[in-house]
Structure 1
């Protein structure tokens, strides 16, 4: 089974966000609910080498913000907004993107 990608996690976060009245997903909610939206492999569930208190897939949640200038990143593409110290908010463009899936 392949490992999930940062975009798999970002898509799951958007799917959670559109169900919230304010379109916002806190980091805690992401950690609780993302596994309900993506199939995580044993490699995804392994402890992070660089973040000992996180699993590999959880590191990807924060990487969405860390990689915000990279091509293909959901923040750069205008699909998600980072809410400092809170989580992510889906944009109208992100809602349209999900509707097209």
Structure 2
């Protein structure tokens, strides 16, 4: 069975009882806490984009997650954006124009 350990007692009470109630040494003012919370501003997040899923192989998913875990990007989405940017920069000008047209049509369709 488990043995019950005796509580460590210092012999001195941590609270002082006075006729009016309990006396607190370091009373914290609620208003000062509320003010300090209001003064600290959280970093503004950009609005979340609508998300979707794509079909990829398990091997590709694992590779992407592994690169994120290594610290190559903050998220899989950021990593994919980096890969896409690199690929777009390597396109010929005529391919770039065709891409812009196709991507514009897809974007307009999504916004409807």
TM-score between both structures, scaled by the size of structure 2: 0.30
Question: Which has the larger Rg?
Answer: 2
Higher percent of residues as strand: 1
Q: TM-score, normalised by structure 1?
A: 0.32
